[in-house]
Structure 1
């Protein structure tokens, strides 16, 4: 009887862990989706809270830190109008989450709309009760690119 209780307890613990992991993945996916909308809306107040103070941003035209990214979004020098997400993968390791989004980005840059295919890598860290973005990197890819899961 004790053996069955032990097996049942281990099953419950494993189920609880799997459920918590799935919830965390969904939370991160939703945060990533929200971030794209905040960027389209130029909502720098929400983005300022999301971006860690030491965050790095890698784009086709350069690499910069949080203040410059927020300035770019606020002024509209790059207006992230729409990110059509084709595929998403999330991996969690402790208090770190990595998100890969394969997207078609429509952005207003240097006076005109442009459309590019990217795989965007986002790295988040759980800090207290909040997730903070540490890294945001655009990698130019072909539209046939797939994210291996």
Structure 2
């Protein structure tokens, strides 16, 4: 499903721009964001973004795969993420699991989870 790639690209772009308003349209109100040390609600994630606690500096995508299940779509992104976290630059390889729910044929992000990988 190509549409999920388009939505994912918009989400990543909004994260890099720290554009919480743009994200609100793409993210389900009950969504969760799972980072390496914390799990946040949608609103908590938006607060972190607005406060600049995480600044998405660069993301390079290595591989993407889509898995569809009835009303769910799972997008796995293998990425190398460079971010500023609490003032410190960090570079990590992750698999980011994006889970989307279909509501009246429209996809909304339900979960965004980072899993650090070791090469």
Q: TM-score, normalised by structure 1?
A: 0.76
Paired residues, number: 119
Larger Rg: 1
Q: Comparing both structures, which one devotes a greater share of its residues to helix? A: 1
Q: Does 1:124 align with 2:100?
A: yes
Mapped partners of 2:98, 2:19: distance in 1: 18
4+ residue segments displaced more than 3 Å: none
SS of 2:6's partner is: helix
Any residues of structure 2 matched to 1:128-147 within 5 Å, and which? 128-142=104-118, 144=119
Alignment-derived partner of residue 47 in structure 2: 71
Q: Is the 8 A contact 2:7 2:26 kept in 1?
A: no
Deviation at 1:76, TM superposition (A): 1.0
Alignment-derived partner of residue 38 in structure 2: 62
Runs of 5+ in structure 2 lacking a partner? none
Higher relative contact order (CA 8 A, sep 6+): 2
Mapped partners of 2:51, 2:107: distance in 1: 25
CA RMSD across the alignment: 1.1
Could you list the per-position Cα deviations for residues 36-71 of structure 1 after superposition, in whole angstroms to 9, with x for gaps in the alignment?
A: 111000111111111111111110121111110011
